[in-house]
Amino acid sequence: MSTLSRDEVARVAGLARIDLTSAELDRLAGELDVIVESVARVSEIATPDVPATSHPLPLTNVFRPDVPVEPVDRALVLASAPEHIDGKFAVPQILGEDA
């Protein structure tokens, strides 16, 4: 038995400002009914002793530990740059704005 009528689907579509044809209303009423029934089935199975999960497998942090290290020597890095000014990389201007 359908829990969502064609009129209810039309009403929701109207609220969302979605224009649906008669065939689309019939099709969506059936598809949405399947979704509602599936959610109802899951709600029946879910019990207070079963914790809610967002992922079927436990996840662990994949990032490395944040360990401070000595920075790279600025002079060494700038030595390999095509051009540098006042300890910074010099790059061509691309936006046509004054620096």
Instruction: Catalogue all structural domains in the chain, each as residue range(s) with its CATH number.
Output: 6-45 (1.10.20)
pLDDT of residue 65: 86
| Residue whose C-alpha is closest to residue 29's, from 8, 53, 52, 56 | 8
In percent, the amount of the chain with pLDDT more than 90 equals 47
Q: Where are the extended beta strands (E) located within the chain? A: 84-85, 88-89
pLDDT of residue 9: 92
Average pLDDT value for residue range 74-96: 89
Task: Give the residue carrying structure tokens 């039309």.
Answer: 10
E strand or H helix that includes residue 25: helix 22-45
Instruction: At 20, list the tokens.
Output: 């649906």
pTM of the predicted structure, to 2 decimals: 0.44
> In this predicted structure, which of 32-36, 42-46, 90-94 has the lowest mean pLDDT?
42-46
